[in-house]
């Protein structure tokens, strides 16, 4: 049977687990996102949870915290990002969670910046209707130059199989 997926607002109690997910080496290498210390992570979340412009959702899979989908403003653009614990990968969960998010949050255009080597994430975005609109240099990660793909969900677009 297909897992039940629910998105709800992030609660303080979710943070120890989402911190653990962000510290899984396969995950942070995929995202090219350097892991933070527990203190750094908690301070960041304390700050972003106070800003009403941020949309911060926890993904529940059959009632368990599996990760999150977040959206924030950066240089006048609205970005989206997501992260799942490794044990939840490869089951279509990110695609379903992002689709639910896009049904709930109607702001467009939405942008995502993804490391070029993160094929799974690019595919998730494409399945949800995002299109590649450009490339940029990302922050260096583990001593490597990272190329980012910039993806946009404009005013027209939706789920594509």
Ligand X SMILES: CC(C)(COP(=O)(O)OP(=O)(O)OC[C@H]1O[C@@H](n2cnc3c(N)ncnc32)[C@H](O)[C@@H]1OP(=O)(O)O)[C@@H](O)C(=O)NCCC(=O)NCCS
Give CA–CA dist 2/62, Å, rounded.
9
Give CA–CA dist 30/50, Å, rounded.
28
> Could you say which of 120, 134, 139, 140 contacts ligand X (CB under 6 A)?
120
- Residue 52 or 159: which CB sits closer to ligand X? 159
Give CA–CA dist 45/60, Å, rounded.
19
Give CA–CA dist 85/18, Å, rounded.
8
Part of the chain binding ligand X (CB under 6 A), chosen from 5-13, 69-77, 99-107, 114-122: 114-122
Part of the chain binding ligand X (CB under 6 A), chosen from 40-48, 51-59, 78-86, 139-147: 78-86
Q: Is 30 in the site for ligand X (CB under 6 A)?
A: yes
Length of the chain: 161
Give CA–CA dist 14/11, Å, rounded.
6
**How many chain residues touch ligand X (CB under 6 A)?**
21
- Residue 90 or 140: which CB sits closer to ligand X? 90
| Positions that interact with ligand X (CB under 6 A) | 27, 30-31, 81-84, 89-95, 114, 118-121, 123-124
């Amino acid at each position: 049977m297909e897992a039940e997926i629910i998105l709800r607002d992030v609660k303080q109690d979710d943070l120890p687990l989402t911190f653990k997910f962000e510290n899984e080496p396969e995950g942070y290498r995929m995202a090219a996102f350097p892991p933070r210390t527990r203190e750094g992570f908690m301070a960041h979340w304390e700050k972003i949870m106070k800003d009403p412009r941020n949309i911060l959702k926890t993904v529940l899979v059959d009632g368990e915290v599996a990760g999150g989908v977040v959206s924030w403003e950066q240089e006048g653009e609205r970005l989206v990002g997501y992260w799942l614990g490794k044990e939840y990968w490869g089951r279509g969960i990110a695609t379903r969670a992002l689709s639910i998010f896009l049904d709930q949050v109607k702001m467009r255009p939405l942008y995502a910046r993804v490391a070029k080597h993160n094929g799974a994430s690019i595919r998730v975005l494409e399945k949800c209707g995002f299109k590649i609109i450009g490339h940029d240099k990302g922050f260096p990660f583990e001593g490597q130059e990272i190329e980012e793909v910039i993806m946009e969900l404009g005013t027209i677009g939706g789920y594509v199989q």
